[in-house]
Amino acid sequence: MAMNYEVILMDGMNLLSLETYFLNTERECINEFIVHHELEISLVKSGQGEYLIDGKTYEMREGDIFVLNNIEFHQIVNINPRFEFVNEVIMFDPRFVWALESNLFDARFLSIFFERKPTFKNRVERDCPVALEIRNLFVEMSEEFREKLPEYQLLLKVKLLNILALLTRHYGLTKIGKEEYSHRKQDLALLNKVTHFIDLHIAEPIRLEDMAAIVYMNPSYFSTFFKKSLGINPSDYLARKRIRRAIEFLQNSDKTILEISTLCGFNNTANFNKTFKKMIGKVPSEVRKLSYKEVQIPAR
């Protein structure tokens, strides 16, 4: 498996990435169900295969678009070995589109990930009119990442918002009252405070009570609020952020395992190794030898 990888960082954390996977044989398919804290939109650029997403099986053909949230277990299988399989993936932290200081953000943009209708399908078929528009935006985002001209990060945000708006229209999630809109925006402001606090203090001990106190909630209510909003409970979100950061240190620095465990908020290497093994299925020393995208967080 070969891949290209571009990323935008804030406070050392990934906010937006564009990843392209080149798979040539069935042996190179992603052979574990994976899940991550980012939201995902992917485009099949060439080839054929199948996508297993939370118990559903979708055919994958050139031009298909797939939308996945941060709790859906997914796996690419049955790649046709006669064709090179190329999958381009946009992954983003919800905060990348939380432009709360402007009118650019609309709370409905995240509804396609968290407030779906019973008829929702993860695949936007290649022949659907909106698929062509989204494919063109993928090309434009790839060019912005490659050229990195002035203000390219702002343009990437605008293009991502364009994709989200098109998907919101496609899935019919366009009706929302003013009161509900205001409520959602307030919720996102609270979540932004918590996730920013986590990023700033990820090397320190962080308790559920600490996160709840940021937004003046009791821990029980905060846990319910957080999971309803982001589809994942606070402790799992924190653990995934720490493990993702550890992977980046392992593969982009010569820091020792002890140093990395400390920088990622673990109080000892035994706890770090245990959590890492549980999430990744490998110990940190094994992951250090792998390329970045050979590592994913399995559904375990």
Token code pair at residue 160: 């991502």
Give the count of domains, the chain: 2
- Helices 219-230 and 234-252 pack at an angle, to 10 degrees, of 60
**Residues 86-120 pLDDT 10s:** 999 998 887 777 654 555 455 667 788 877 888 89
Do 95 and 140 fall into the same domain?
Answer: yes
Do 6 and 126 fall into the same domain?
Answer: yes
First to last CA, the chain: 23
Inside any domain, residue 297? no
Structure confidence at residue 209 (pLDDT): 96
Inside any domain, residue 280? yes
Do 45 and 137 fall into the same domain?
Answer: yes
Give, for 22, the enclosing helix (H) or strand (E): strand 13-23
Inside any domain, residue 138? yes
CA distance 127 to 32: 29
Structure confidence at residue 300 (pLDDT): 30
244-264 burial, b at 16+ Cβ within 10 Å, e below that, comes to bbbbbbbeeeeeebeebbbbb
**Final residue before a domain boundary, out of 141, 170, 199:** 170
SS3 of 100-148 = CCCCCCCHHHHHHHHCCCCCCCCEECCCCHHHHHHHHHHHHHHHHHHHC
Structure confidence at residue 292 (pLDDT): 47
Contact yes or no for 37/5 (Cβ under 8 A): no
Do 271 and 202 fall into the same domain?
Answer: yes
CATH number, position 276: 1.10.10.60
Do 139 and 263 fall into the same domain?
Answer: no
CA distance 140 to 152: 11
Do 208 and 94 fall into the same domain?
Answer: no
Average pLDDT over residues 147-167: 91
Inside any domain, residue 200? yes
Token code pair at residue 117: 């209708």
Do 105 and 158 fall into the same domain?
Answer: yes
Do 280 and 140 fall into the same domain?
Answer: no
User: Residue 149, Cα to own-chain centre: how many angstroms?
Assistant: 25
- Helices 219-230 and 178-200 pack at an angle, to 10 degrees, of 110
Do 108 and 252 fall into the same domain?
Answer: no
Do 276 and 144 fall into the same domain?
Answer: no
**Residues 199-242 pLDDT 10s:** 889 999 999 999 999 999 999 999 999 988 777 899 988 988 89
Do 22 and 162 fall into the same domain?
Answer: yes
**Final residue before a domain boundary, out of 143, 170, 197:** 170
Instruction: Determine the structural domain holding residue 255 and report its residue range.
Output: 177-292
CATH number, position 76: 2.60.120.280
Give the pLDDT band (50/70/90) at residue 298: very low
**Final residue before a domain boundary, out of 132, 154, 170:** 170
Do 166 and 187 fall into the same domain?
Answer: no
% of the chain surpassing 90 pLDDT: 39
